[in-house]
Amino acid sequence: MVLAVKAEGVKIGYIDEEDRVQWAVRGVDLEIGSGDSFCIVGESGSGKTTLANAIAGILPPHAIIQGRLIIDGKLVLDNGRLDFNGVRGRIVSYIPQNPGTSLNPFMTVEEHFYYILRDTKSLSRREARRIALESLMKVGLDQSVLEMYPHELSGGMQQRVTIAIAIASRPKIIIADEPTSSVDANLRAGILKLLNRLNRELGLTLIMVTHDIYSAAAVCNKVAVMLVGKIVEMGEVKALLYDPRHPYTRILLNCVPVLGVKKPLKPLVGEPPRLYSDIKHCPFLDRCPFAVETCKVEPLLEPVDEKRDHVVRCWRFKELKSVEL
Amino acid sequence: MEPSRLGKHVLLRASKKLRFKIGLVIVVVMVAMAILAPYIAPYPDEGLGRVPLDGEGRRLLPPSPQHLLGTDTLGRDLLSRIMFAARAALMQSTIVIALSLVIGLVVGSFAAYFKGFVESVLTYLTELFMAVPSLVIALFIRLATNTPGYHVVIVSLTLTWWAWYARISYVYAKGIVELDYVVLAKLAGLHPLKIVGRHILRVIFQPMAVQAISDLGSALLEASAINFMGLGLPRDYPDWGVILFEGLRELSVIAFIRAPWLVVFPGLFILITTLGFALLADPLREELDPRLSRRWRLWF
């Protein structure tokens, strides 16, 4: 199977005003197969958006990047050297978080398609219009949307338009950065269904970033849980939901309210550590209820069982399996 | 570029307001007067400046059926003079505003988009030009070139006027450059000129154009002031400012008693035209930014 994305020790940091580097992603290795739907879950500041932006090739210029990133067989990132030509917008495409501010209010939907298709594929206006219509059909919108301005569309329609724009240039990989954060629960289900359908029907590799582990479960077949710039647990969605091994994943799953079930929702106390210095201990040390002396050294990603596709970064995952939270 | 429906919508809503209609009528009448001056002026020759043969006997006649607005110090029909003067007035203000708008839009959006050094240089430059009064520049240009004419008015006014547009479009653009669609376009590697043209200029153009329309009147006032001081257009040129000035120069303050029509009518035309542009642009601005008109409804 061809790998859609292969990351080897990717580290991404941002330089702040005082010339300090704040590492958002501190070494991520992952492999995403072609046609997979992959989800990156994590709290705010865990580096999930930065990682997704790196794959989409839209990191700001003040970002510092290390490691290797191979997208669809092309080495786009080799120890600080970036080469996204021919990849960004053509192979990888991006669905922004806020459709409202991501569309130019003075351009019709059709013009959005036209400028993007002209720049990526040098299509004429008529061809662009045809492809725009095709893409809009795929996301469940009709022809009338073409002549509208973004402010004439509802939030859900705007999000659908951004998805249609993302698939218009026929990419192989789509990055969706919290696509459901700005729509209500009903539309969220619709958008997730749509992404799921696109993933299946067009054979797209979908990489979704979210903080809602259950909407991840609804769409994706693989999930990676990120914490303080590192992946702490990764595996098939079923394995991860039914048999979470990392304490953080367990707490994350435990604090989701379930309809019809009365249970106390435990908050996760404490704050994620600052990312200025290189953290040598387990990223969850300060907040973990099971922390012991060994946790002062950072654990490695280890496979849970012999199938080797469910990995976890915890020293005590075996003994903690039977311990209640 | 096809006409934007947003613009049409704004125009449609604004056109229902009485102020807009009055402004439109005034502006249309003035423009028609300027274009048709040779055909509708009662004494076209005199309007262009020829002194009639019996000028001696017709000096400073008060308004009458033959000379609706009276005659000037050389015996020419004042109405014809004023009709021809509308050409100069509209031409000066339109050219000044159009040039200033283009320069201001470009400078403002570039300053907002290219941060850092370019931004500070352009904003300092803008402030520098805002600080200089146009009359002083007009004086310098007049002395340097030593010939009166349109160039004095247009250059001196444009030099000071563009800075205001640069400032306003800078502020507008500053609010846009941080929006996602600009940031994403930038990160995706779109050419900066394309970003400025497609995503910034296009968005700020409409409010800026409305601002420009309402400023046509102010530009006319300033141009008339320069002409009134005798710095711009040559003596005897049909222009409201020049006519006003000549009335006052010949008769000094006594003009107000001996021949008030000579100073009152040109001044009145300047006033009405300025008012017309303001009335025209105000409802447009309100429709473009509905918060402006709705705010008071919340208060009361």
* CB < 8 Å to B184, chain A: 58, 94, 96, 102
Last residue of a domain, one of A149, A170, A191: A170
* CB < 8 Å to A58, chain B: 184, 187-188
Q: What is the DSSP string of A272-313?
A: PPPSSSPP-S-TTTTT-TT--GGGGSPPPPEESSTT--SEE-
Verify whether the Cβ–Cβ distance B203 to A106 is below 8 Å: yes
Element (H, E) at B153: helix B150-177
Residue A277 pLDDT exceeds 70: no
* A158 and A293 housed in the same domain: no
* CB < 8 Å to A94, chain B: 184
pLDDT given for residue A154 in this prediction = 85
Please indicate, yes or no, if residue A320 is contained in any of the structural domains: no
pLDDT given for residue B289 in this prediction = 66
* A155 and A185 housed in the same domain: no
Please indicate, yes or no, if residue A319 is contained in any of the structural domains: no
* CB < 8 Å to B4, chain A: 106
Please indicate, yes or no, if residue A126 is contained in any of the structural domains: yes
Please indicate, yes or no, if residue A323 is contained in any of the structural domains: no
Please indicate, yes or no, if residue A194 is contained in any of the structural domains: yes
* A21 and A76 housed in the same domain: yes
Contact, A26 vs A4, CB < 8 A?
A: no
Q: What percent of chain B has pLDDT over 70?
A: 91
Residue A221 pLDDT exceeds 50: yes
B41: tokens are 């002026």
Range B250-282 burial, b when 16+ CB lie within 10 A, else e: bbeeebeeebebbbbbbbebbeebbebbbbbbb
Last residue of a domain, one of A152, A170, A188: A170
How confident is the model over B17-45, as pLDDT tens digits?
888 899 999 999 999 999 998 898 888 88
* A40 and A140 housed in the same domain: no
Please indicate, yes or no, if residue A317 is contained in any of the structural domains: no
* A52 and A117 housed in the same domain: no
* A202 and A146 housed in the same domain: no
How confident is the model over B56-78, as pLDDT tens digits?
777 777 888 888 888 887 878 88
* A133 and A110 housed in the same domain: yes
Q: Give the domain CATH number at A29.
A: 3.40.50.300
Nearest of A132, A138, A161 to residue A149 by alpha carbon = A161
Distance CA A118, CA A110 (A): 12
The model's confidence at residue B296, banded by pLDDT at 50, 70 and 90, is very low
* A197 and A227 housed in the same domain: yes
* A179 and A150 housed in the same domain: no
**Candidate from A89, A98, A147 with C-beta closest to B188:** A89
pLDDT given for residue B5 in this prediction = 57
Distance CA A241, CA A236 (A): 9
For the segment A196-208, the average pLDDT, to the nearest whole number, is 89
Please indicate, yes or no, if residue A81 is contained in any of the structural domains: yes
Mean pLDDT, chain A, whole residue set: 85
How confident is the model over A278-325, as pLDDT tens digits?
777 888 887 888 888 888 888 888 888 777 788 888 888 877 777 776
pLDDT given for residue B294 in this prediction = 43
Which site among B187, B201, B288 would you substitute to test the A interface, given the most A Cβ atoms closer than 10 Å to its Cβ? Answer: B187
Predicted complex ipTM exceeds 0.90: no
* A181 and A250 housed in the same domain: yes
Q: Which residues pair with A6 in a beta bridge?
A: A31, A70
Verify whether the Cβ–Cβ distance A104 to B199 is below 8 Å: yes
- In sign, the C-alpha dihedral spanning B185, B187, B189, B191 is positive
**Candidate from B4, B181, B190 with C-beta closest to A101:** B181
pLDDT given for residue B298 in this prediction = 39
Please indicate, yes or no, if residue A257 is contained in any of the structural domains: yes
For the segment A47-56, the average pLDDT, to the nearest whole number, is 89
Last residue of a domain, one of A170, A188, A220: A170
Distance CA B146, CA A193 (A): 76
Verify whether the Cβ–Cβ distance A101 to B187 is below 8 Å: no
pLDDT given for residue A297 in this prediction = 83
Query: A122 lies in which domain range?
Result: 99-170
Distance CA B263, CA B243 (A): 8
* A84 and A104 housed in the same domain: no
Number of domains in chain A: 2
Residue B212: exposure state from Cβ atoms within 10 A (0-12, 13-18, ≥19): buried
Verify whether the Cβ–Cβ distance A115 to B181 is below 8 Å: no
* A108 and A77 housed in the same domain: no
* CB < 8 Å to A107, chain B: 198, 202
CB contact, 8 Å: A89 with chain B? yes
